[in-house]
């Protein structure tokens, strides 16, 4: 039976999800809206007229192109109630409701959820008054992170501070930007290595996916501000069966129980950003979608038929499924649109913290050896002659796979060397681990491969 699905996204993560469908299910055709017009895979059909900010465009498409279900994996779409609208029109949808997506879009709601349902998280307070927030950062006996909802000029809405003076400045910056709408969460700064945890939920139960380590800082050496992520490793280098157990017990089981208790209509991927602290796992954020660029490193490992897993989500029996994965390490590196001329003070500074010039011709994609690395398209368009050009901040993700971390990294960078566009910028140290590993050994990694990561009881 030939199957048809629609994926709503337009990022490297979206491409990795479409690839997961077609790679694991030879019968499926994926419509991908808005997708990426530059991609030319026969069973991934981009639908540019579908807009992330307007579910009516998807409804128009579905009226003439019926599919079995729609997978909404983009937070911009989820946050405006895309999944709710499509469901209200009778479509089968995988993707959390607008109310459930607030766990990500409202920092305070995410924190309240953690506290009420027993997920360990950093101490915090929420403020509508900048003066009170400024006072608070001087009173608490620890360093602070100042957070607000949505994106900020400095990245993804969180300013990690060391001193009270820095935190005070962060509060003032948000106050200047937000005026009367000022609202921040100030929380205790945690220390340790972050871990990105993923699961596919059916509303009642979950199937854990492999973990990842995201490189969120914009510059080499983990310097610069937080951005959407410059690259990732999967599985997470600290993973072990014991850590998987702990993730389930401390994070995913309480999360699932909390969603049920609040009757939040949640199916689809959840992404818990956590920190491995000296006191154990702590939640940093709950996101209502897969991580980007973690998806590019995690999903290519999956061997299970993903259309069938989606069927199980819709039938609410994901708890009975197993996830088969390979036991390779993957290292994905984001190629971003940086400055066109670093020596020109008037040139656009580039992504993530400044203007950038899109439309730059991309060369070398055909030279990439698919046996060594996979390329996912994030912001790639076509020029009038049909050639690929850059079209946004993160342009491409290059994913090297290997038996070891070193091999995966080397493969990724060896293939990146073949690709170029004017202003291309990437971190040369994705996969370099600055903090000591807590328990990663080749044996632990092998155990974390097929199928142990996802099938522990
Ligand atoms: P968020 O805005 O909550 O998504 O946080 C963005 C990033 O800021 C996280 O991925 C962390 O890298 C960092 N961060 C957020 N909260 C904390 C915290 N309490 N301690 C240390 N780093 C944090
Ligand atoms: N890689 C971080 C995120 O998807 O938010």
DSSP string, 278-335: TTEEEEEEEESS--TTHHHHHGGGB-S-HHHHHHHHHTT-GGG----B---EEEEEEE
pLDDT digits (tens, 9 = 90+) for 233-273: 999 999 999 999 999 999 999 999 999 999 998 999 999 99
Structural domains of the chain in order of their starting residue, each with its CATH number: 3-95 (3.40.50.20), 123-188 (3.30.1490.20), 193-320 (3.30.470.20), 329-425 (3.90.600.10)
Nearest residue by C-alpha to atom 16 in ligand 1? 284
Q: What is the mean pLDDT of residues 319-338?
A: 97
Structure confidence at residue 435 (pLDDT): 65
Neighbour tally for 232: CB within 10 Å: 29
Cα 151 to middle of ligand 2, angstroms:
12
Least confident of 29-43, 138-152, 323-337: 138-152
Ligand 2 mutation pick, 157, 196, 299, max ligand atoms within 8 A of CB: 196
Question: Closest-lying ligand to the alpha carbon of 293?
Answer: 2
Structure confidence at residue 158 (pLDDT): 86
Structure confidence at residue 456 (pLDDT): 23
Nearest ligand 1 atom to the CA of 158 is 2
Nearest of 208, 236, 434 to residue 329 by alpha carbon: 236
Nearest ligand 2 atom to the CA of 292 is 4
pTM of the model: 0.94
Q: What is the mean pLDDT of residues 91-97?
A: 98
Q: Is the pLDDT of residue 454 over 80?
A: no
Our answer on whether the CB atom of 214 is closer than 6 Å to any ligand 2 atom is: yes
pLDDT digits (tens, 9 = 90+) for 109-152: 999 999 999 999 999 999 999 999 999 999 999 999 999 887 55
Which residues sit with their C-beta closer than 6 Å to ligand 1?
Answer: 122, 145, 147, 156-158, 160, 187-190, 194, 216, 226, 273, 284-285
Our answer on whether the CB atom of 291 is closer than 6 Å to any ligand 2 atom is: yes
The C-alpha atoms of residue 308 and residue 325 are separated, in whole angstroms, by: 15
- Phi first, then psi, for residue 305 (nearest 5°) are -65, 110
């Amino acid at each position: 039976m030939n199957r048809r699905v629609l994926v709503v996204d337009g990022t490297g993560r979206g491409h990795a999800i479409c690839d997961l469908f077609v790679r694991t299910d030879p019968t499926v055709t994926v419509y991908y809206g808005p997708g990426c017009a530059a991609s030319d895979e026969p069973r991934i059909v981009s639908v540019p007229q579908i807009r992330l900010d307007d579910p009516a465009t998807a409804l128009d498409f579905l009226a003439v192109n019926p599919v079995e279900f729609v997978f909404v994996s983009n937070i911009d779409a989820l946050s405006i109630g895309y999944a709710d609208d499509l469901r209200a029109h009778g479509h089968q949808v995988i993707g959390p409701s607008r109310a459930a997506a607030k766990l990500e879009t409202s920092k305070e709601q995410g924190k309240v959820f953690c506290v009420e349902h027993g997920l360990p998280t950093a101490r915090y307070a929420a403020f509508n008054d900048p003066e009170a927030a400024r006072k608070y950062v001087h009173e608490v006996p620890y360093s602070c992170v100042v957070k607000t909802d949505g994106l900020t000029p400095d990245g993804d809405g969180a300013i990690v501070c060391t001193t009270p003076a820095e935190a005070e400045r962060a509060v003032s910056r948000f106050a200047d930007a937000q005026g009367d709408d000022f609202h921040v969460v100030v929380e205790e700064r945690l220390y340790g290595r972050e871990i990105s945890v993923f699961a596919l939920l059916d509303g009642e139960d979950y199937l854990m996916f492999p973990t990842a380590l995201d490189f969120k800082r914009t510059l080499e050496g983990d310097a610069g501000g937080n951005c959407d992520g410059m690259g990732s490793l999967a599985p997470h280098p600290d993973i072990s069966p014991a850590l998987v157990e702990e993730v389930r017990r401390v994070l995913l089981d309480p999360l699932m129980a909390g969603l049920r208790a609040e009757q939040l209509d949640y199916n689809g991927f959840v992404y818990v950003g956590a920190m491995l602290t000296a006191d154990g796992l702590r939640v940093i954020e709950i996101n209502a979608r897969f991580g980007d660029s973690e998806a590019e490193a995690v999903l290519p490992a999956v061997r299970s038929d993903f259309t069938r897993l989606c069927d199980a989500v819709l039938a609410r029996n994901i708890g009975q499924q197993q996830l088969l994965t390979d036991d390779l390490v993957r290292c994905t590196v984001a190629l971003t649109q940086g400055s066109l001329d670093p020596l020109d003070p008037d040139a656009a500074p580039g992504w993530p913290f400044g203007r950038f010039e899109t439309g730059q011709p991309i060369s070398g994609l055909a030279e990439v050896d698919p046996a060594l690395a996979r390329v996912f398209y994030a912001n790639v368009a076509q020029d009038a002659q049909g050639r690929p050009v850059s079209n946004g901040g993160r342009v491409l993700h290059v994913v090297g796979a290997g038996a070891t971390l070193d091999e995966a990294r080397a493969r990724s960078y060896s293939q990146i060397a073949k690709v170029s566009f004017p202003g291309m910028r990437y971190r040369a140290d994705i996969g370099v681990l600055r903090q000591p590993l807590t328990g990663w050994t080749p044996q632990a990694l092998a155990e974390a491969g097929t199928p142990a990561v996802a099938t522990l009881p």
